[in-house]
Structure 1
Amino acid sequence: MEMGTPRVLLEGIAFGESPRWYGDRLWFADWGAGEVVAVGADGAHEVVLRPDFPTFPMCVTWLPDGGGLLVVSSSQDRVLRRAADGSLVPYADLSAVAHGWNEIVADGRGHVYVNGGGFDLMAGEEFRPGVIALATPDGAARQVADGIAFPNGMLVTSDDSTLIVAESYANRLTAFDIGPDGALSHRRVWADLGDGCPDGICLDAQGAVWYADVPNQRCVRVREGGEVLAAVELDRGCFACALGGPDGRTLFLVATKWAGVENARGGPRTGQLLTVTAPAPGVGRP
């Protein structure tokens, strides 16, 4: 399917990640600037959160039913919740499961999933497979999946039955059934992506997944099994994507010129937030 030319909504971003449509704005984390930013459809934006911990990486999600914004503090192996006064308070301790965390998503029943890469890419460590943890409201966490080849984006289907995770180093999307207690089972390959390297992902109402691809500088829409339905080509690495807008059919793309791990912090602000109209509205979470 032919896609229109993306429009730049915001630029000058240090290192954008974790876009989520919430309320009437697109929220994203700028890892390079250490901020969470909210952007309106007209490009008007504001910094809504400046955490006081190292923010590379830092991902966000919302609890259902107004339960609040959750923030992953990878450096502290913690999930934090934004309180009514704007402060960040403890939500769950991940340190007993693993160290070093990335993406987060909450389903409609309040199950909170956080994944970790298993190794510190930024420090140049050798690859080790990662895990998915379930963080619970009592402040604890437990491992619910392992052997994930660099887990990246995650989503939960609108019926809360399935979690899909991007395995960047395995070039695939992997699905799990979600049990009543939040346990994950029936692991399977949802889509083999060939040379696709999935980062952030989102789901649409036709059951297709969009995945951001950094090395191939694009965002790709695939159906279960891996058939490519559409692609948006960019001039820089696409790190994450989200569907939102008033009708849910705006595809938001977070893209940055990737110059390698050694240049990921403190370099030129090449990050952009772009938009293009999608063929189907977004569903599920985040």
Structure 2
Amino acid sequence: MYPISPSVDAEVFAEIPEALSYGSRKSDWASVQVHGNATPTFLEGPCFDAAGDLWVTDIPWGRVLKIAQDGTVSVGAEYDGYPNGLKFLADGTALIADLKNGLMKFDAAKGTVEPYLTRRLLEPFRGCNDLCVARNGDVYFTDQAQSSLADAYGRVYCLRAATGKLDLVLDKIPSPNGLVLNKAENALYLAVTRANAIWKINFNADGSTGKVGLFIQLSGGHGPDGITIDENDGLAVCHVGMGSVWLFDAWGEPTLRIKSPKGRMTTNLAYGGPGNRTIYFTESSSGTVLKAEVPVAGRRLL
């Protein structure tokens, strides 16, 4: 449908050192998600703090790792959970979408992780995956678990900052994953991994869910994972299994492919660096964070 977009190769920003890896140790998470293969680390959730340091999650080992601007890696916290998406809030703390526990709150200064929202009414979440934060503090997050085209029970929720009310935005989704609001915050883009697609959830004037449509259809690999957005409402999409990050303009036309030199498990990403013009993304199977400069600056998100 579109001409082949130009491509560039990413470069290594940081690698998890052997001293911080778990070697051949097994985990329950790895037995399901990566078929029991050894998982020294499995990185997700890159997010920059106010000081310009990058934080990532290490899912199977319940860790939040800090990567300083010189690439030095340290452990910020370790707890009983499967942390995935991570976003810093205006007060300097962060929220974690945790597969095992729900939403958790991370205090980097104290090195603590505590429950923040673990259930809807009396119903535990099935398995939270990722989140994004609106300008007014509303938190949108995905409850993905093992949903797929064969069992499409995935959901998107919104936790309202002003009232504390938890709204169901959309359900019956085959594997909702990364998500990001557009600049006007009147629509939410959603990576639907098992459908290999990006959906667009439009909001009505009162904030309720409006029309939902398929915005980008991908092919190959395992499907889209983390997504983020630039200043012109263009999307950047991590395509797991393809070893790539795709850039699309505001109309969904591909403009650039960023290739991983390390592996094909390109899972999640964030804009950062000078002028916010560099994409940093995780290649989970190798415990690596990659980076590439891009033409349009990313939007600064909470």
Is the TM-score greater than 0.5?
Answer: yes
1:211 to 216, 234, 237: 237
Matches within 5 A, 1:13-28: 14-23=41-50, 24-28=52-56
Q: Match for residue 8 of structure 1?
A: 12
Matched, 1:201 2:227: yes
Contact 2:99 2:145 in 1 (8 A): no
Residues 204-258 of structure 1 show CA distances to partners (whole Å, capped at 9, x for unaligned) of: 123211111111111111234542211012233211121111210111020133x
Secondary structure, in 3 states, of the residue corresponding to 1:20? strand
2:277 to 249, 255, 280: 249
In structure 2, distance between residues paired with 1:106 and 1:206: 18
In structure 1, distance between residues paired with 2:97 and 2:229: 22
Secondary structure, in 3 states, of the residue corresponding to 1:282? coil
In structure 2, distance between residues paired with 1:111 and 1:60: 15
TM-superposed CA distance for 1:4, in Å, is 4.1
Matches within 5 A, 1:142-157: 142-157=167-182
Residues 164-211 of structure 1 show CA distances to partners (whole Å, capped at 9, x for unaligned) of: 110111121112234677543222222222446211111112321111
Q: Match for residue 81 of structure 2?
A: 54
Query: Which residue identity lines up with residue 10 of structure 2 in the other structure?
Result: P
2:67 to 5, 30, 39: 39
Q: Match for residue 135 of structure 1?
A: 159
Normalising by structure 1, report the TM-score.
0.82
TM-superposed CA distance for 1:66, in Å, is 2.1
Residues 85-136 of structure 1 show CA distances to partners (whole Å, capped at 9, x for unaligned) of: 4434443233446421111111111111111125378xxxx63331001224
Contact 2:104 2:113 in 1 (8 A): no
Query: Which residue identity lines up with residue 91 of structure 2 in the other structure?
Result: G
Contact 2:42 2:60 in 1 (8 A): yes
In structure 2, distance between residues paired with 1:112 and 1:256: 25
Matches within 5 A, 1:62-211: 62-63=88-89, 65-66=90-91, 68-80=93-105, 82=107, 85-96=110-121, 98-119=125-146, 127-137=151-161, 141-178=166-203, 183-195=208-220, 197-211=223-237
Q: Match for residue 266 of structure 1?
A: none
Q: Name structure 2 gaps, 5 residues minimum.
A: 22-40
Contact 1:16 1:30 in 2 (8 A): yes
In structure 1, distance between residues paired with 2:299 and 2:42: 26
In structure 1, distance between residues paired with 2:126 and 2:69: 37
Residues 53-89 of structure 1 show CA distances to partners (whole Å, capped at 9, x for unaligned) of: 222x4322123x3263112333233443539744344
Contact 2:95 2:103 in 1 (8 A): no
Closer, same or farther: CA 162–172 of 1 in aligned 2, 3 Å: same
Q: CA RMSD in A?
A: 2.8
Matched, 1:273 2:289: yes
Query: Which residue identity lines up with residue 141 of structure 1 in the other structure?
Result: L
Normalising by structure 2, report the TM-score.
0.78
Query: Which residue identity lines up with residue 231 of structure 1 in the other structure?
Result: R
In structure 2, distance between residues paired with 1:166 and 1:87: 30
In structure 2, distance between residues paired with 1:184 and 1:29: 30
Contact 2:157 2:168 in 1 (8 A): yes
In structure 1, distance between residues paired with 2:204 and 2:77: 33
Closer, same or farther: CA 118–142 of 1 in aligned 2, 3 Å: farther
Q: Match for residue 237 of structure 1?
A: 265
Secondary structure, in 3 states, of the residue corresponding to 2:194? helix
Q: Percent identity?
A: 23
In structure 2, distance between residues paired with 1:76 and 1:241: 23
- Larger RCO (CA within 8 A; separation ≥ 6): 1
Secondary structure, in 3 states, of the residue corresponding to 2:146? coil
Query: Which residue identity lines up with residue 201 of structure 2 in the other structure?
Result: F
Closer, same or farther: CA 21–285 of 1 in aligned 2, 3 Å: same
